[in-house]
Amino acid sequence: MAVTPLDVVKCNIQTNPAKYKGIGNGFKVVVGENGVAGLFKGWVPTLIGYSAQGAFKFGLYEYFKKTYSDMAGEEMAKKYQNAIYLAGSASAEFFADIALCPFEAVKVKVQTVPGFARGLGDGLPKFIAQEGVSGLYKGLKPLWGRQIPYTMMKFGAFENTVQALYKYVVPKPKSECSKGEQLGVSFAAGYIAGVFCAVVSHPADNLVSKLNAQKGATAGDIIKEMGWVALFTRGLGLRIIMVGTLTGLQWGIYDAFKVAMGLPTTGSVEEKKK
C-alpha cells in the first residue's frame, strides 16, 4: 500500500504515454487533475489484493520449499538448492495470483480510467456489471506471466543475495549480527532482488495494465499497438524504483515479524566447521 503513488503514475504511463510523458510529468499531471488524493487512487484494492497475495506467496513458499526439499532428500536438496527455491516460489505464486487477480483488475481500472470509480466499494460492482465476474480474471494469464517469473526471481535472488552479503559485505558472521543488522541485510537484499524482479516481469506488467484498462483488448492487440520495445521499456524506470522499494519493504516486514515470533531471519549461511 505504501507504494500506491508510484503505482498510480506507473500504470498511467503504461496506458496513456501521450499524456503521462515520464515520471516527473506523470506525478504533475495526476496531482494537477486530482490533487494529492489522486496519487492514492486504488489503495483499498491494493491493500486487500496484495495482502491476500502476500499471505499465499510467503506462506506457500515456506510450505513448498520444505515439501520439495523433503521429496528430494537432504543431499539432493543441498545440491540443487536454487532449483528448490525456484520451484517453491513458482508453485506459491500460481495460487497467490488467483487471490490477487480480481483486486488487480479493479485497481488498474480505478487508477487509469477517469471517473470510473472512487475505489473498491463502487468499482467492483461496476466492473462486474460491465464485464461480468469472468472479466475479473481476464488478466490472470498475463498476471501469471508477470508474477511467476517475478516471484521466482524475488525468492531466488533474495536467498542468494543474503548469502552473498553475509559472505562478502557484512564484516562478521550472521550469528554475530544483531537482529537489527540482520533486518538491514534483509531489506538491502530485498531491494536488490526487486530490481531484478522488475526487469524480468516488466513486459507482462505492461500487458496486465493495458488489458485491465481497455475493455475487449487481447494480449495480441496490445503487443501490436505498443510494439516490442515499448512493451519491455515503457514505465520501466519507475517500476524499478517501485518494485525495489516494495520488495525491500516486504522482506523487511516479513523478517521483522519472524524475529518478533522468535524465528530466525530468512536466508542463512552455513558456518564453517572449526
272 domain residue, yes or no = no
61 domain residue, yes or no = yes
39-59 pLDDT per residue, tens:
999 999 999 999 999 999 989
Confidence band for 268, pLDDT divided at 50, 70 and 90: low
Amino acid letter, 63: Y
pLDDT of res. 230: 87
Segment 174-199 shows an average pLDDT of 90
Segment 231-252 shows an average pLDDT of 88
Task: Flag whether pLDDT at 272 surpasses 70.
Answer: no
Number of domains in the chain: 1
Task: Flag whether pLDDT at 37 surpasses 50.
Answer: yes
109 domain residue, yes or no = yes
pLDDT of res. 220: 84
Q: What whole-number percentage of the chain has pLDDT above 70?
A: 97
Q: Which of 16-20, 199-203, 219-223, 268-272 has the lowest mean pLDDT?
A: 268-272
273 domain residue, yes or no = no
Could you tell me the residue range of the domain that residue 160 belongs to? 4-260
Amino acid letter, 138: K
pLDDT of res. 258: 87
pLDDT of res. 22: 87
Which grid coordinates belong to 86?
Answer: 525456484
E strand intervals along 187-250: none
For the beta carbon of residue 141, count every other beta carbon within 10 angstroms.
Answer: 16
Q: How far apart, in whole angstroms, are the C-alpha atoms of residue 59 and residue 67?
A: 13
Q: Measuring CA to CA, how many Å separate 124 from each of 18, 52, 80, 183, 217?
A: 28, 16, 44, 37, 19
CATH number at residue 191: 1.50.40.10
Q: Measuring CA to CA, how many Å separate 169 from each of 16, 165, 193?
A: 42, 5, 16
Mean pLDDT across the chain: 88
267 domain residue, yes or no = no
62 domain residue, yes or no = yes
Stated pTM of the model: 0.75
pLDDT of res. 226: 85
251 domain residue, yes or no = yes
Task: Flag whether pLDDT at 218 surpasses 50.
Answer: yes
165 domain residue, yes or no = yes
